[in-house]
Amino acid sequence: MPRPIKPRRVLFNPNITYFKPRAVPLSILEEVNLSVDELEAIRLCDLKALKQIKAAKKMKISQSTLQRTLISARKKITEALIQGKAIKIIKK
């Protein structure tokens, strides 16, 4: 039985939860689901330029968990940009 997921502290609530390529109908687009905690990790490390240790403390998770979250988020965002997919931000 896997260990239960530790709740993450997210201090950012996005107003916009959907991004898609311009001039492409939504009905033909594939989606990539980005969780709010992945978005928070990207916001803290890439936008606010915090070191991973400090960002992990803000989210109340370990640095290794933050790193895995960042890798996952960056992979999803890159996939959406390169393959022309929509990004949907979901709350878990």
Q: Where are the beta strands (DSSP E) in the chain?
A: 18-19, 31-35, 86-90
Tokens found for residue 82: 């390169």
Q: For residue 89, what pLDDT band results from cuts at 50, 70 and 90?
A: very high
Residue boundaries of the structural domains of the chain = 35-90
Q: Which residue has the tokens 């992945």?
A: 38
Cα 37 to Cα 27, 51, 57, distances in angstroms = 27, 16, 13
Of 3-7, 39-43, 80-84, 86-90, least confident by mean pLDDT is: 3-7
DSSP assignment, residue 27?
G
pLDDT digits (tens, 9 = 90+) for 12-52: 888 888 999 998 888 899 999 999 999 999 999 999 999 99
pLDDT digits (tens, 9 = 90+) for 42-72: 999 999 999 999 999 999 999 999 999 999 9
